[in-house]
Structure 1
Amino acid sequence: MERNGLVRTKEGRSFLLPFILITSLFFLWGFAHSILDVLNKHFQDTMEITRTRSALIQAVVYGGYFIMALPAGNIIRRFGYRAGVLTGLVLYGVGALLFIPGGKIGSFEFFLFSLFVIGCGLTCLETAANPYVTVLGDPEGSERRLNLAQSFNGLGWICGPLVGGFFLFAGGGDVSTPYAIIGCIVLAVALVFARVKLPEIGDTPAPRMKEESTDSRGLWKESTFTFGLVALFLYVAAQTGINSFFINYATETAGISAHEASVWLSFGGMGLFMAGRMGGSWLMRSVRAEKVLTACAVGAVASMAAVILLPGRAGWYGLLCCFLCESIMFPTIFALALRKTGSNTKRASSFLIMSIVGGAIAPVLMGAIADTSSMATGFSVPLVCFVVIAVYAYRYKAISL
């Protein structure tokens, strides 16, 4: 790595070990989110529920983000990043293990409660890990550093549908086993973090704005933060909606079986997603992050237009292409929104994580549209989201002045 590279400050201090440890968490929550997309279709088939009702799976997980984000931020501000990580891992592990009695009870509502607990845990993990990665090195490299860490989140997104598809579609519909394994692994990781000391790094001035600091009231006067908050809300809404109904679109429009679609989601969609994040981290060495974001948002708009207007194989390819286009959006919007938050990075991060509640809304809207019209038409929701994100990226330089 370069001397003043991703995980080394200008003074020469290296944060390689904490970066590696925290990056492992990105895989864990990527896995947790992506397996929901398979679980969605599984419950539609086994419990004979509508697409609108099955979307409650995403709604309760992402609803946990809205409820838990501020408490998670308070834990981190009072006790540090490590405490936030441990709280998140314990909640995640306990929620996953609740699937064992859930499988015996066979109640959709009990599964929703278990997923809500997992969602609260994921909130703590993301509230701690995302801003922590941005300060583990030279501030100028925050966007690249977060995109690189989020690449391993992409690896988790690949594994989730693969594991879920095997157990739920090819393995006889066993929903308890994969979550029991996940719960044990997560709690084991919690034990590791309980024994490892992470350096507590105070909030640093944002890149390119080192002389500025923002008090808590002034935080809401920063356009890059407030518009970024909206953009992140819409991005998570779009991503969650697309993932939730990927398998439905494949089976209803492209003539692909549910199990085959779960494999496509894993290696095709999520493979492109991970490759895009790694490529984006490399590209941002020479191209400003907001320019990369603009190009990707325009590509996502075009992809969604193909999904809606060209249902069938053409729309299917457009859907896959969208994963590549959306790959860099979350970490890039997150880092751009934090650029001018100064000494309020932890507080700003809590609100940004809170915006992930967008994932609770889009799937329900898309499911309702699909139940009354068509699955292809339901993708008009992420189309609108990507248009707004494109405007944010294109106008970023102007609103940051």
Structure 2
Amino acid sequence: MSAGPPVYRSALTLLASLFFMWGFITVINNTLLPHLRSVFELDYTQTTLIESVWFIAYFFASIPSAKLIERIGYQKSLVVGLVIMAAGALLMVPAARMPSYGVTLFALFVIASGITLLQVAANPYVAVVGSPETASSRLNLVQAFNSLGTMLAPSFGAYLILGRSVGGTSQAGTVLTPAQRLADAQSVVLPYVLVAVVLLVLAVIIARFPLPAMGSATNRMAKADRANHSLWHHRNLVWGIPAIFIYLIAEIGVANLFVNFVGQSDIANLTPEQGGHYLTFLWAGMMVGRFAGSLIMQKFDAAKVLAVFSIGAFLVMLVTVFASGPIAMWSLILVGLFHSIMFPTIFTLGIRGLGPLTEEGSGLLIMAIAGGALVVVQGWLADEYGLQWSFLLTAACELYILFYALWGSQVTKSLD
């Protein structure tokens, strides 16, 4: 991986493994949700509440994460984040053996808190280790490895969770006996133990690796100087925070409800296990789009590329809502390609020109990932008006991203 001075290349390669792992473990949720819906007999609102708890962790853990990084440094914080994630993964074992909906929610909250710490540390690191003009290209490149994790996770989850359960291999509407639900709950133990082991090994590697310092350009200002500067004078950050928030509603809503959507008889009539395999195509589109976006943004302005992708996302979501059969399924898969560059591009546009305020701005942008918690709104819309109509919410989110690309992302005051 080539990005920035040679001293940073090995560090970025290692950090790519972090992006891979948090993408992988996040997307296991997409196969976990239909599994838990069957085990606990949940409606759509209760099912999406599981993912809401995951993203609420970003809201509560972002500021403590920034404080921890300031206190112990980036490298130790990455190690702590991995250990927290591993602890949460291991908590899934007692949650499955009980089985307990409440303990499952707590375990996922712990995992997400660890990922939040990694996000607060790793995203700004990647963004500032090279030229500001290529920051979006660089972060899209590393985020492509995040998408590689998200692409592989559905097959992993479909095989080890859905494929080993009665609910995962049955058609929609199948009613399980209490004994079958108890047996199905046990199927999450093996995959989460495997994930915990990998996370702990990675923590040891990170602890022993000589990560270079981020440099003085983004150091926190002295209190006297900081009083003369306000984050709220930077339009690209002010409008970027809701852009991240709203984008997460779109991305998580599509991913979490995909398996249920393609399982409908008038769409593709797939079992949850089959739907989990098709979900791989959506995340593959994310990966391809980020690799392509990294190259495109070396020649074209990142904000203009973001505008084009948001228009594409809006159009395919309209097809998803108003079409049926395989056309609706493949249009929903295609939105992954258009969503691909959105998070890393919004993030780098949002911190552009912040200079020594980069750390604080990054923390606010990561906190905005809590927008994924509002996927419960789409769950409610699905219960009230139908799953297909609920994707109009996603289409509306794409329009805000277009607004940000065309106007909100413009830098009004640069401290670089």
Query: TM range, normalised to the smaller chain?
Result: over 0.9
Aligned mate of 1:386, from 378, 393, 398: 398
Alpha-carbon separation, structure 2, partners of 1:156 and 1:186: 13
Alpha-carbon separation, structure 1, partners of 2:78 and 2:60: 17
Give the aligned residue type for 2:279. L
Does structure 2 conserve the Cα–Cα contact (< 8 Å) formed by 1:203 and 1:345?
no
Does structure 2 conserve the Cα–Cα contact (< 8 Å) formed by 1:203 and 1:346?
no
Question: Residue 259 in 1 paired to residue 253 in 2?
Answer: no
Alignment correspondent of 1:250: 262
Unaligned runs of 5+ in 2: 166-183, 220-224
Does structure 1 conserve the Cα–Cα contact (< 8 Å) formed by 2:240 and 2:409?
no
Does structure 1 conserve the Cα–Cα contact (< 8 Å) formed by 2:350 and 2:409?
no
Question: Residue 187 in 1 paired to residue 200 in 2?
Answer: yes
CA shift digits 1:147-200 (9 cap, x unpaired): 000000001101111111111221234011100100111011111111122112
Q: What's the offset of the Cα at 1:216?
A: 8.0
Alignment correspondent of 2:107: 114
Alpha-carbon separation, structure 1, partners of 2:384 and 2:204: 48
Alpha-carbon separation, structure 2, partners of 1:85 and 1:169: 31
Alpha-carbon separation, structure 2, partners of 1:70 and 1:205: 17
Aligned mate of 2:289, from 276, 280, 285: 276
Does structure 1 conserve the Cα–Cα contact (< 8 Å) formed by 2:235 and 2:412?
yes
Q: What's the offset of the Cα at 1:307?
A: 1.1
Q: Compared with structure 1, are the counterparts of its residues 215 and 228 closer, same or farther at alpha carbon in structure 2 (3 Å cutoff)? A: farther
Aligned mate of 2:3, from 6, 19, 30: 6
Q: Compared with structure 1, are the counterparts of its residues 216 and 296 closer, same or farther at alpha carbon in structure 2 (3 Å cutoff)? A: farther
Alignment correspondent of 2:172: none
Does structure 1 conserve the Cα–Cα contact (< 8 Å) formed by 2:352 and 2:411?
no
Alpha-carbon separation, structure 2, partners of 1:291 and 1:99: 43
Alpha-carbon separation, structure 1, partners of 2:402 and 2:270: 31
Does structure 2 conserve the Cα–Cα contact (< 8 Å) formed by 1:7 and 1:19?
no
Does structure 2 conserve the Cα–Cα contact (< 8 Å) formed by 1:225 and 1:340?
no
Q: Compared with structure 1, are the counterparts of its residues 310 and 382 closer, same or farther at alpha carbon in structure 2 (3 Å cutoff)? A: same
Q: What's the offset of the Cα at 1:31?
A: 0.7
Alpha-carbon separation, structure 1, partners of 2:100 and 2:384: 26
Q: Compared with structure 1, are the counterparts of its residues 342 and 156 closer, same or farther at alpha carbon in structure 2 (3 Å cutoff)? A: same
Alpha-carbon separation, structure 1, partners of 2:250 and 2:306: 15
Alignment correspondent of 1:285: 298
Question: Residue 156 in 1 paired to residue 149 in 2?
Answer: yes
Q: Compared with structure 1, are the counterparts of its residues 153 and 346 closer, same or farther at alpha carbon in structure 2 (3 Å cutoff)? A: same
Q: Compared with structure 1, are the counterparts of its residues 14 and 399 closer, same or farther at alpha carbon in structure 2 (3 Å cutoff)? A: closer
Q: Which runs of 4+ in 1 moved over 3 A?
A: 213-217, 396-401
Alpha-carbon separation, structure 1, partners of 2:63 and 2:366: 9
Q: What's the offset of the Cα at 1:392?
A: 0.6
SS in 2 for 1:375: coil
Q: What's the offset of the Cα at 1:300?
A: 0.5
Alignment correspondent of 2:32: 39
SS in 2 for 1:197: coil
Does structure 2 conserve the Cα–Cα contact (< 8 Å) formed by 1:214 and 1:340?
no
Alpha-carbon separation, structure 2, partners of 1:214 and 1:249: 49
Does structure 2 conserve the Cα–Cα contact (< 8 Å) formed by 1:225 and 1:338?
yes
SS in 1 for 2:130: coil
CA shift digits 1:337-382 (9 cap, x unpaired): 01021101111111111000000112x1111111122111111121
What pairs up with 1:2-401 in 2 under 5 angstroms?
Answer: 6-8=3-5, 14-172=7-165, 173=184, 174-202=187-215, 204=217, 217-252=229-264, 253-266=267-280, 268-362=281-375, 364-396=376-408, 398=410, 400=412
Alpha-carbon separation, structure 2, partners of 1:170 and 1:216: 58
Does structure 2 conserve the Cα–Cα contact (< 8 Å) formed by 1:62 and 1:119?
yes
Alpha-carbon separation, structure 2, partners of 1:192 and 1:154: 22
SS in 1 for 2:152: helix
Does structure 2 conserve the Cα–Cα contact (< 8 Å) formed by 1:19 and 1:136?
no
Alpha-carbon separation, structure 2, partners of 1:240 and 1:398: 27
Q: What's the offset of the Cα at 1:318?
A: 1.2
- How does the TM-score come out when normalised to structure 1? 0.92
CA RMSD of aligned residues (A): 1.8
Q: Compared with structure 1, are the counterparts of its residues 195 and 397 closer, same or farther at alpha carbon in structure 2 (3 Å cutoff)? A: closer
CA shift digits 1:22-43 (9 cap, x unpaired): 1110001101111101111111
Alpha-carbon separation, structure 2, partners of 1:398 and 1:41: 41
Give the aligned residue type for 1:318. S
Alpha-carbon separation, structure 2, partners of 1:40 and 1:397: 34
Q: What's the offset of the Cα at 1:396?
A: 4.5
Does structure 2 conserve the Cα–Cα contact (< 8 Å) formed by 1:370 and 1:376?
yes
SS in 1 for 2:211: coil
Alpha-carbon separation, structure 2, partners of 1:358 and 1:367: 14
Does structure 2 conserve the Cα–Cα contact (< 8 Å) formed by 1:92 and 1:117?
yes
Give the aligned residue type for 1:63. I
Quick one: percent identity of the two aligned structures? Answer: 34
Q: What's the offset of the Cα at 1:322?
A: 0.5
Alpha-carbon separation, structure 2, partners of 1:30 and 1:220: 31
Give the aligned residue type for 2:4. V
SS in 2 for 1:286: coil
Which range is displaced more, 349-358 or 73-82?
A: 73-82
SS in 2 for 1:142: helix
Q: What's the offset of the Cα at 1:214?
A: 7.5
Unaligned runs of 5+ in 1: 207-212
Count matched residues.
386
